[in-house]
Structure 1
Amino acid sequence: MKVLLVLSILSFSLALCHAACFFNPLEKEANGVCTDLYDGTKHPIGSEWNTADCLQCWCRDNGMECCHRYGGVVSVEGCTAVVDPETCKYKFYKNDDPSKPCYD
């Protein structure tokens, strides 16, 4: 039952954020660094990093830009797509039994 709930929540959140990007402008007192909005780490201008939330981010002279590392509309008949937080790739589970993968 817990697996079904988790898969349902992840599927819903996946539907809301296909390949989304966002930009956060630097504050005046930033002193040439971007602060990661998720974990608070500091990154110098020109750097690039991956977050634990499957985002790829860049610190630019005017702010921080992040995009999802997975993307696109994913549809496999009879399956539900879920982003694996370890690999940041889609995994597919059967609609009629979310505990079973569509592909082994």
Structure 2
Amino acid sequence: MNALFRLGVLCVVLAVCHGACLRSLHELAIEDGKLVEPVCVDVYDMSKHPIGDSWNTAQCMECHCGTDEMECCTRYGGIADMPGCIAVVDETTCKYKFYKKNNPSKPCF
């Protein structure tokens, strides 16, 4: 029972830490009567990636091109909340920065 509880807690922690993920299935394409090898197309910059490739986007997403689908997940984690502050993702570092709600030009730290 204790092991089951620990496994449940671990699953919740991993889900919260990872943030959001997007998945898209490969579309089958036939060219000249032959099945075309699927590739993943980055929705942000339209670059093409072969199956097995992993890459980071400029929008702080970590993507992987699998055999059946492409999956992209946020690199900046899950829930970010600090009382009296607003969270903004810094696209250079892919981390949250916190600013005062009543004065967004001032950092909370």
**Do the two structures share a fold, i.e. TM-score over 0.5?**
yes
Q: Which runs of 5+ in 1 are unaligned?
A: 1-17
Q: Does 1:26 align with 2:22?
A: no
Q: TM-score, normalised by structure 2?
A: 0.73
Spell out the pairing of 1:1-104 with structure 2 (5 A cutoff): 19-29=19-29, 31-103=37-109
Percent identical among aligned pairs is: 56
Counterpart residue identity of residue 63, structure 1:
E
CA offset at residue 44 of structure 1?
0.9
CA contact (8 A) 2:27 2:38 kept: no
Q: TM-score, normalised by structure 1?
A: 0.76
Larger-Rg structure: 2
**Aligned Cα RMSD in Å?**
1.5
The runs of at least 4 consecutive aligned structure 1 residues that moved more than 4 Å come to none
